[in-house]
Structure 1
Amino acid sequence: MKKGLIIVLVFVLSFGFLQVATNLTSQGETLTATAKGFGGDVTVTLIVDGDDIVSVTAAGPSETQGIGSNAIDQLPAKIAEADSADVDSVSGATLTSNAIKQAVRTALGIESAEQPAEEPVKETSAQPIPEGALTATAKGFGGDVTVYVVVDGDDIVSVTAKGDSETQGIGSNAIDQLPAKIAEADSTEVDGVSGATVTSNAIKKAVEEALASAGTSSEATEGALTATAKGFGGDVTVTVVVEGDNIVSVTAKGDSETQGIGSNAIEQLPAKIAEADSVDVDGVSGATITSNAIKEAVKAALEAQ
């Protein structure tokens, strides 16, 4: 009798343990899939519970740091929160975002039903070259960027840019958007396109060179003061327009300064100096040497008048 009770007890306990193990495993199934990103493969790992996406992680070591890596870091959590791959891509990282979403769909077995259409390639070379335009070329991210600038006296009437080797969805955005901004502002002192700093800088540099080739400048430079100081990578030259004791405008050029560091000072600090009407302003964080060069050159220009 006791032996029978023991057998029954063992059976009940074994069944209970089996149920617990089954419940634990049923709480999450792990799925993986891979899709092609911008720099290479992007792999996602999902934990799903029935129709619910419990968590998503992504790995893409070949994606561009600061661009595609943003999608790797941010998008999986959005997908898990939305319980769907139908979420907005991370700005400036369309290709990596699409790869993550495609891999998620593939892992869930719905790729064929909901795979996003391939992003169309924009034809930049189809733009007509304006008659009588000034032209110049500068080095972009993927290759040469060429601009065509139409001027009327000191006014920039229009700007067209071409850069067939620039990254689609990143540099191509600068090619499409920045020329109109320069023409509208009548100056290259405009913000670059987010996520496309190298291409943006190439466009602005090429426009400056095109204008210089005709003896024109993107700023009113009559009676301007110029001076040069040593930056981090090479010479930094400033052009200062003054009216009496007031600093009307400052522009700076330093093609050898580090992109994303010294170039930030080149782009940001001149406006601060003009606004403060003084070189006694804070330098740009992380670009102390270039900032000091700009301020030293402005000071030298002012002292030379």
Structure 2
Amino acid sequence: MWRNSEDRKKKLLQTLDANIGKYMIMFDTETTGLKKDDQIVELAGKKYRIEKDANSIYEFLETDTFHAYIKPPFAMDSGVIAIHGITNEFLEDKFTEEEISPQIEAFFGDADLLCAYNINFDIKMLMRLYERTGMPIPFVLSEEEKQLDVLIYARDLVSSKETKSHKQEDVCKAMGLEDGVKFHSAIDDIEACFRLFKIFVKQYQDMETLDYSKLPTPMIYQNGIAYWEKGKIKRIYVNTDKGGFYYDIIKKEWNVKDASDSMKNYNVPALIKAAFQAVCVSDEEAFVKAVRKDLN
């Protein structure tokens, strides 16, 4: 198994270095559901100023907190309520989106970075709130390079053998970080996310940089990239002069097809770069889209 840890390390640390003295908001949402027309019923955020001490250790100094419950224009069903415990009755006297929007705009307006666990979902929900209320969209909501996803770091640094799943709750419990946290409470989920984030940043800082240049680079055969799917297994196979390799789309990791072989024997970054170049992309997400698009 191999994940592009060095690339993620480089991107994360470069992003943090570029924002020393600036502000990162870690945030979370609880919602009426997962569909496009669902809305946020709890929004929480903590603002941190990013610093670096004399020993080059990153520090995140909390400067502000936002926490609000929001009354939606429709009732939630019991299944959703069972997940986060926020009832329709509890929300009856809470602010609507329009009423709370000035406070949201003021809090998020000066952020330089956003951080969350599985951030794409929370970004979509917050973006739709901005659109419905007519607020101007802050650049951190529309600029992907300004958004840090702790789920990606968890998948990268916590093995599937160590945790039941890569849901935030399971990763926290696997790492012994769940004390005092009520999961599926937006304000508590931020605390859980922050605990994980600090550890992952330190792990990336301490990670040894490997010299892959001394290892053989597999050469991809012409038309040697193909998508394969069976049940819940989804892979992209890359056939080379050193044998078969594949990218596991679900687990987001690279593997060698021959179980008796090891990814440690090859210049994997060079192989991945060649695979990306073969389909004219620069990252894993675009790689998956490009290969699967060829099937249509």
TM tier, shorter chain?
under 0.3
TM-score, normalising length: structure 1: 0.23
Name which structure has the greater RCO, CA cutoff 8 Å, separation 6+. 2
